[in-house]
């Protein structure tokens, strides 16, 4: 059992030699002499402190929780928790406050005061020698640190010692010890002190302040300019520069004015004759104005000119051998190459490979952005309520082609006009002369156009003498109709050509959009012409379509827009009643646009228009069938290259055959939906009915004599059979060929059985041939048919994620992968911590101030009390005295009495 506290204390006091045997007087004196006394005292104080701490259990704060796994954790923070000594920290804080806050408190609402900022002045622990050494060390250190970096020439010993504020340098400069900077620095410091009770001023800071002043001194050794002086100088300089600039500008203005004055005369020179233009130097006048005649200068100028010439000559292009004229074979090869690339591009478009991907993506994005995800949208389907226009996704190669075409033009090197002409006529690659024919055969020779172009105002004689040579480029169709009102239909191509030639883009910048408008007008006009009752010649329609095609190469947007507008008109106004103009337009689509494209802004809707007609139109008369036959033909013609399947085509053709068949075909053909006409259109098999080629205008023939009607019926049957025949060739490679043409085969068989003996042999033969062909293709399809194996895909892998490992993982740290968030959290934590600390400090400050105030008040009270008592005592004394004297007086009086 441990001994009592008192015994322990005694023991420890003995141990530390605080209590011990008394020292003799001799010893004491010796100790005092050697200074050991002081040493002892310090030692004793330290030992006492230690003992006090050891014996005061309340000075050490025990940890709130016992440390878990104390051995395992090596964190110093955790170990340090044992040693928290609130008493010490409290007293430290108290002391610091007394040093800072209390001072402030006392100096509150007081102005001025002197602050001693000398090194170690307030430090009682330093001896004067130490202070001096320290000051010297600092001075030299600072000098070394500040200058050494950039100081190249080590000119002088900078260390300056001062004595009594006077420099002890031997150069004899009187250096004022008083420095502005110093004062401002100290002011600053004071300010800082008031700002934060926490911040302590540091020696280094102070040193820095002093150093700045020193540096300034060294840079301007003669005399230090004041700031005001420097600024004045600066302002003066800038004013001077500004003035100079203005002056230069004014000079320029004057010069320009002079030049302007002479401009009219210059114009005269230019217009008057072409020769003097070269001689009349543009610069000459002004140069003369500026530079007076001077021989030396002239020679200099000549020299310069000479140099210039020389340079020009050295850099001048050397003559090179021109490009060899290509041989015919090479030309053909090039041409073949070009066609091949074009064909490759077409194939790519046909497969819908390029652009489509991004198109699909766009669509997918669109569907993503919708609130309700629509499965159908992914495929570009949209209900009419939310229409989105699909735009073309094709590669463009046209302009490149055109350029190359122009280059291959044999006359390309001649003149600008001719070159242009080559472009106007859209030099078709394969045959120059053919294009010439297109342009010339109908109008005038090439020379003629050149003359027209070069001298547009001059008249010109030609075979169609009544035609004017200049026409305004029409902006609307009505305008165009006004222009061609008095012109024969036969001359229309010539007129169009002249308009195109006159408004060639190279002639005027506006011509580009003029021709673009014109191309749209032409599209409108073609359908307009075909709708006219007088039935224009197809030669002219063809020519106009070819013109549109050639314009389309330059203005694809406008032409496509015009076609789309027409298609829209068909779709909304007469989806099932086509006019001849519509057929011509759709034929135009066939030639002008690549119908094989997977997606095309014009051909896709055109296709849909055609298929819609075939799928939904009602068949009431032979003209309906004729229109249908034409559309079916167009439809299949669209797919010649791409070989895409059109269900409506098959339905329509077979339905038509069912209707035209001499006897009703009873057997139902599987999955073919049949339509019934309102009146019978059956072929009556007249003996003399023969086959003829169907004319285009049969689509309008409503009044037909019975015999011609029969003839038309027979021809229509032939037509549909040949269409089916053609389609069979086209789709023979499809895997479901048998299913596609099963119904057709059956129908044709029944049809051929229904013929009477005396029917046209042409029809009989054709039907039979078609049946045989279908059977042949069926057997081919059968041999090539295999079970479908569409899903040879590589199995999809499950998505995997590699786990991320952190080396030296510390659970106390936050591993936020998001850098910004981590930073933010860190700052937040810091802010919180700081805030808490600041609050605590403020609270303590407030407590301290309150305590001090209380103390002061108590002091005041005590003083007051004291004073009060003293005064009372005084008064009482006085009174007592007075009372005594009164008594004495009374006694006296009594005594007297």
Partner 1 sequence: MSALTGGAQGSKKRKKDANGTIDTTSLPSKRLAVEQDATATIQKLEDQIVESRKFYNNIATLLSMLNARTSKDEPNLTVAVALCRIFCRLIAGGDLKEQSRATEQEKIIVAWLKERCQEYQRALLDVIRQAEASFKVTALHLSMRLANARAAHLPGSETHVWLTGLFKGVFEALIEAREGESLRSEFVEQYLREYEDIRYYTFMQITVYAAERRNPEILERLIFIISQCDVVPQPEHEFTKSYVKLEKKDRNPLLSVGAHKKRAQEAWLAILKNELSDPQRKQLLRMMSHTIVPWFNRPELLMDFLTDSYNSGGSTSLLALSGLFYLIQEKNLDYPQFYPKLYSLLDADLLHSKHRSRFFRLMETFLASTHLPATLVASFIKRLSRLALNAPPTAIVAIVPFIYNLLKSHPTCTFMIHRAIHDKDWIAELEMEGMDDPFDPNEQDPTLTNAIESSLWEIEALQSHYHPNVAAIARIISEQFTKQAYNLEDFLDYTYQGMLIAELGVEERPFKKAPVIEFQIPKRIFTDRLLEEDRGEDTAPGSMLRQLWDFST
Q: How far is the CB of 764 from partner 1 (least distance, A)?
A: 19
**Is residue 448 involved in binding partner 1 (CB under 8 A)?**
no
SS3 101: helix
Note whether 146 and 215 are within 8 A (CB).
yes
In whole angstroms, give the CA distance from residue 764 to residue 767: 5
Query: Binding residue for partner 1 (CB under 8 A) from 426, 582, 624, 710?
Result: 426
**Maximal C-alpha separation, the chain:** 197
Query: Binding residue for partner 1 (CB under 8 A) from 602, 661, 744, 759?
Result: 602
Q: By CB under 8 A, which span of 220-228, 236-244, 396-404, 884-892 interacts with partner 1?
A: 396-404
Query: Binding residue for partner 1 (CB under 8 A) from 116, 323, 434, 820?
Result: 434
By CB under 8 A, the count of residues binding partner 1 is: 135
Beta carbons within 10 angstroms of residue 212's beta carbon = 14
Note whether 634 and 586 are within 8 A (CB).
yes
Query: Binding residue for partner 1 (CB under 8 A) from 135, 504, 512, 644?
Result: 644
**Is residue 799 involved in binding partner 1 (CB under 8 A)?**
no
**Is residue 395 involved in binding partner 1 (CB under 8 A)?**
yes
> Among all chains, which residue has been given the structure tokens 């000594």?
85
Residues with Cβ within 8 Å of residue 73, at least 6 apart in sequence: 67
Query: Binding residue for partner 1 (CB under 8 A) from 380, 419, 528, 845?
Result: 380
**Is residue 535 involved in binding partner 1 (CB under 8 A)?**
yes
The footprint of partner 1 on residues 93-112 (CB under 8 A) is none
The footprint of partner 1 on residues 567-586 (CB under 8 A) is 567-568, 571-572, 575
**Is residue 690 involved in binding partner 1 (CB under 8 A)?**
no
Q: How far is the CB of 423 from partner 1 (least distance, A)?
A: 14
Structure tokens at 737: 């060929």
Query: Binding residue for partner 1 (CB under 8 A) from 9, 266, 446, 608?
Result: 608
**Is residue 798 involved in binding partner 1 (CB under 8 A)?**
no
Query: Binding residue for partner 1 (CB under 8 A) from 139, 206, 214, 394?
Result: 394
User: Measured from the CB atom, is 431 or 765 closer to partner 1?
Assistant: 431
**Is residue 784 involved in binding partner 1 (CB under 8 A)?**
yes
Q: By CB under 8 A, which span of 50-58, 94-102, 759-767, 777-785 interacts with partner 1?
A: 777-785
User: Measured from the CB atom, is 469 or 649 closer to partner 1?
Assistant: 649
Query: Binding residue for partner 1 (CB under 8 A) from 100, 651, 732, 747?
Result: 651
The footprint of partner 1 on residues 698-737 (CB under 8 A) is 719, 722-723, 726, 734-737
Structure tokens at 681: 């259109």
In whole angstroms, give the CA distance from residue 103 to residue 107: 6
Q: How far is the CB of 493 from partner 1 (least distance, A)?
A: 13
Query: Binding residue for partner 1 (CB under 8 A) from 107, 637, 708, 764?
Result: 637
The footprint of partner 1 on residues 656-685 (CB under 8 A) is 668, 670-674
In whole angstroms, give the CA distance from residue 626 to residue 692: 13
Beta carbons within 10 angstroms of residue 768's beta carbon = 14
In whole angstroms, give the CA distance from residue 705 to residue 697: 16
User: Measured from the CB atom, is 91 or 476 closer to partner 1?
Assistant: 476
User: Measured from the CB atom, is 352 or 448 closer to partner 1?
Assistant: 352
Q: How far is the CB of 799 from partner 1 (least distance, A)?
A: 12
Beta carbons within 10 angstroms of residue 733's beta carbon = 12
Q: Is the dihedral of CA 560, 566, 568, 571 positive or negative?
A: negative
Tell me the residue length of the chain.
897
**Is residue 556 involved in binding partner 1 (CB under 8 A)?**
yes
User: Measured from the CB atom, is 393 or 748 closer to partner 1?
Assistant: 393
Closest CA to 471 of 461, 485, 454: 485
Closest CA to 581 of 723, 697, 719, 491: 697
Q: By CB under 8 A, which span of 31-39, 324-332, 601-609, 880-888 interacts with partner 1?
A: 601-609
In whole angstroms, give the CA distance from residue 631 to residue 623: 12
> Among all chains, which residue has been given the structure tokens 């269900």?
647
Structure tokens at 389: 């226009």
Structure tokens at 64: 């709130």
Note whether 367 and 304 are within 8 A (CB).
no
**Is residue 398 involved in binding partner 1 (CB under 8 A)?**
yes
User: Measured from the CB atom, is 182 or 360 closer to partner 1?
Assistant: 360
Q: How far is the CB of 445 from partner 1 (least distance, A)?
A: 19
Q: By CB under 8 A, which span of 482-490, 589-597, 760-768, 818-826 interacts with partner 1?
A: 589-597
Q: By CB under 8 A, which span of 3-11, 46-54, 192-200, 539-547 interacts with partner 1?
A: 539-547
How many CA atoms, within 13 angstroms, populate the side-chain half-sphere of residue 40? Answer: 14
**Is residue 361 involved in binding partner 1 (CB under 8 A)?**
no
DSSP 617: -
Note whether 777 and 730 are within 8 A (CB).
no
Closest CA to 578 of 535, 544, 611, 542: 611
Q: How far is the CB of 311 from partner 1 (least distance, A)?
A: 46
In whole angstroms, give the CA distance from residue 291 to residue 285: 10
**Is residue 793 involved in binding partner 1 (CB under 8 A)?**
yes
Note whether 323 and 407 are within 8 A (CB).
no
């Amino acid at each position: 059992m441990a001994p009592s506290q008192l015994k322990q204390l005694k023991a420890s006091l003995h141990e530390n030699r605080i209590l011990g045997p008394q020292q003799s007087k001799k010893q004491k004196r010796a100790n005092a002499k050697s200074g050991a006394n002081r040493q002892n005292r310090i030692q004793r104080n330290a030992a006492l402190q230690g003992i006090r701490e050891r014996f005061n259990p309340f000075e050490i704060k025990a940890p709130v929780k016992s440390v878990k796994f104390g051995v395992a954790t090596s964190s110093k923070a955790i170990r340090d928790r044992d040693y928290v000594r609130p008493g010490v920290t409290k007293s430290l804080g108290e002391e610091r406050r007394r040093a800072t806050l209390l001072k402030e408190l006392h100096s509150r609402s007081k102005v001025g005061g002197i602050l001693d900022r000398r090194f170690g002045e307030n430090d009682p622990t330093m001896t004067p020698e130490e202070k001096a050494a320290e000051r010297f060390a600092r001075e030299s250190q600072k000098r070394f640190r500040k200058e050494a970096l950039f100081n190249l020439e080590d000119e002088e010993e900078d260390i300056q010692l001062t004595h009594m504020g006077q420099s002890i340098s031997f150069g004899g400069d009187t250096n004022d010890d008083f420095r502005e900077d110093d004062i401002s620095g100290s002011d600053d410091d004071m300010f800082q002190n008031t700002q934060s009770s926490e911040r302590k001023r540091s020696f280094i800071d102070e040193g820095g302040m002093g150093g700045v002043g020193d540096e300034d001194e060294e840079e301007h050794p003669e005399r230090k300019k004041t700031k005001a002086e420097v600024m004045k100088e600066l302002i003066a300089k800038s004013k001077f520069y500004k003035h100079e600039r203005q002056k230069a500008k004014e000079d320029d203005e004057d010069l320009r004015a002079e030049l302007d004055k002479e401009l009219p005369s210059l114009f005269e020179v230019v217009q008057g004759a072409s020769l003097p233009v070269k001689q009349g130097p543009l610069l000459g006048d002004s140069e003369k104005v500026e530079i007076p005649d001077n021989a030396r200068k002239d020679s200099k100028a000549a020299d310069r000119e000479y140099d210039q010439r020389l340079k020009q000559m050295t850099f001048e292009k050397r003559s090179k051998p021109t490009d060899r004229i290509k041989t015919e074979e090479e030309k053909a090869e090039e041409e073949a190459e070009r066609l091949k690339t074009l064909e490759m591009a077409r194939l790519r478009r046909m497969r819908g490979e390029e652009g489509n991907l991004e198109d699909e993506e766009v669509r997918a994005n669109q569907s993503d952005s919708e609130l309700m995800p629509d499965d159908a949208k992914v495929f570009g389907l949209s209900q009419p309520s939310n229409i989105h226009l699909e735009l073309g996704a094709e590669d463009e190669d046209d302009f490149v082609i055109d350029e190359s075409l122009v280059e291959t033009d044999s006359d390309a090197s001649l003149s600008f006009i001719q070159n242009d002409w080559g472009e106007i006529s859209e030099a078709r690659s394969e045959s120059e002369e053919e294009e010439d024919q297109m342009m010339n055969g109908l109008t005038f020779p090439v020379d003629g156009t050149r003359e027209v172009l070069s001298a547009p105002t001059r008249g010109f004689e030609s075979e169609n003498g009544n035609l004017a040579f200049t026409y305004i480029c029409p902006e609307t169709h009505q305008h165009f109709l006004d222009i061609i009102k008095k012109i024969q239909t036969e001359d229309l191509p010539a007129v169009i050509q002249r308009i195109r030639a006159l408004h060639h883009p190279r002639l005027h910048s506006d011509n580009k959009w003029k021709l673009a408008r014109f191309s749209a007008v032409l599209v409108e006009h073609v359908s307009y012409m075909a709708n006219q009752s007088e039935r224009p010649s197809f030669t002219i329609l063809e020519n106009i379509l070819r013109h549109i095609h050639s314009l389309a190469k330059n203005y694809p947007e406008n032409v496509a827009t015009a076609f789309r507008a027409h298609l829209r008109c068909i779709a909304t106004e007469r989806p099932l009643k086509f006019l001849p103009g519509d057929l011509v337009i759709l034929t135009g689509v066939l030639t002008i646009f690549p119908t094989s494209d997977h997606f095309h802004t014009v051909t896709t809707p055109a296709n849909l228009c055609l298929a819609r007609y075939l799928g939904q139109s009602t068949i009431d008369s032979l003209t309906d069938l004729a229109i249908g036959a034409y559309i079916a033909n167009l439809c299949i013609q669209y797919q010649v290259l791409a070989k895409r399947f059109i269900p409506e085509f098959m339905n329509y053709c077979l339905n038509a055959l069912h209707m035209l068949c001499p006897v009703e075909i009873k057997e139902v053909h599987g999955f073919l939906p049949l339509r019934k006409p309102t009146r019978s259109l059956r072929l009556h098999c007249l003996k003399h009915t023969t086959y003829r080629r169907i004319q285009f205008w049969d689509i309008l023939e409503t009044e037909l004599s019975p015999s011609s009607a029969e003839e038309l019926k027979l021809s229509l049957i032939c037509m549909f059979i040949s269409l089916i025949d053609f389609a069979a060739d086209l789709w023979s490679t499809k895997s479901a060929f048998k299913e596609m043409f099963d119904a057709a085969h059956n129908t044709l068989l029944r049809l051929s059985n229904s013929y009477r003996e005396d029917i046209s042999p042409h029809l009989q033969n054709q039907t039979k041939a078609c049946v045989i062909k279908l059977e042949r293709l069926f057997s081919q399809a059968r041999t090539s048919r295999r079970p479908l194996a569409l899903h040879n895909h590589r199995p999809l892998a499950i998505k995997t994620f590699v786990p991320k490992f952190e080396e030296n993982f510390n659970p106390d740290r936050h591993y936020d992968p998001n850098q910004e968030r981590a930073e933010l959290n860190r700052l937040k934590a810091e802010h919180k911590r700081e805030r808490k600390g600041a609050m605590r400090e403020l609270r303590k400050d407030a407590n301290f101030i309150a305590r001090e105030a209380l103390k002061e008040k108590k002091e005041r009270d005590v003083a007051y009390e004291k004073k009060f008592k003293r005064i009372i005592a005084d008064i009482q004394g006085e009174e007592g005295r007075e009372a005594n004297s009164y008594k004495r007086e009374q006694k006296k009086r009594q005594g007297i009495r």
